Structure 1
Amino acid sequence: MAFTLDDLERIVSIRAEADAGSSYTRSLIEAGPEKCAKKLGEEGVEAALACAGGSKTELVSEAADVLYHLLVALKVRDVELRGVMAELERRTAQSGHAEKAARKTA
């Protein structure tokens, strides 16, 4: 069985309830949305740099960091992954160009 984002969301939820001394996830959540946003941004930049000039291994590692920090950011704001996935499903029902144009008029 493959590891999924749903699996990661469950792990983040469990670790969010652990003691901050033993859980990095909990310490991020206790630091609040601003800290979570900062970490997500940092990891996004690192992933972009790895995409532009790093190795595939570096990009895989940074992409994993982005996904983890995104799920922590969603958790700290009480946003469920299924809501994000529903939005992606809605958007992919049409071409990317049409979806982007529709967002500009909304």
Structure 2
Amino acid sequence: MNDAQVIDRLHATVLSRRGADPESSYTAKLFAQGRAKIAAKLGEEAAETVIAGASETPERLASESADLLYHLVVLWAERGVAPAAVWTELARREGVSGLDEKAARGKI
């Protein structure tokens, strides 16, 4: 098993929670609250991950990273992005200088 399979399975589980009772599933509750809430929660988890990375233990960083990845997968599901699309994009960037890749995208 590779690590990408863990995310693929998580994505499948997240998709299965769409439309479930928000009272019985945190994931269903996020979907019920809508895209903006999901995105805001992802931002909150990103900030917590940054703080853990800067000043907390490696174990805390791993824990916050797992929370961040979970909420990212929920946002992918909300937007209809399959993990395979992300893996394809990462593979496309493999072996390309980060500076060159960023320049090729243009300004955001």
> Is TM (by shorter chain) over 0.5?
yes
Cα deviation for residue 2 of structure 1 reads 5.5
Change (3 A) 1:105 1:34: closer
Residue-by-residue CA offset, 1:12-65 (whole Å, 9 max, x unaligned): 112224221111001101111000000000000000000000111110110000
- Extract unaligned runs of 5+ from structure 1: none
Which residue does 1:63 correspond to in 2? 65
| Structure-to-structure mapping, 1:5-20, within 5 angstroms | 5-20=7-22
The 3-state SS of whatever aligns with 1:51 is helix
Which residue does 1:36 correspond to in 2? 38
* Distance in structure 2 (CA, Å) of the matches to 1:105 and 1:89: 22
Question: TM-score, normalised to structure 2's length?
Answer: 0.88
Counting aligned pairs with the same residue, the percent is 44
User: How many residue pairs end up in the alignment?
Assistant: 106
- Extract unaligned runs of 5+ from structure 2: none
| Structure-to-structure mapping, 1:62-81, within 5 angstroms | 62-81=64-83
Contact 1:16 1:25 in 2 (8 A): yes
The root-mean-square deviation of aligned C-alpha atoms, in Å, is 1.8
* Distance in structure 2 (CA, Å) of the matches to 1:31 and 1:104: 34
Which letter maps to 1:82? A
Structure 1 window deviating more from structure 2 (5-14 vs 45-54): it is: 5-14
Following TM superposition, where does structure 1 have runs of at least 4 consecutive aligned residues deviating by more than 6 angstroms?
Answer: none
Which residue does 2:86 correspond to in 1? 84
Question: TM-score, normalised to structure 1's length?
Answer: 0.90
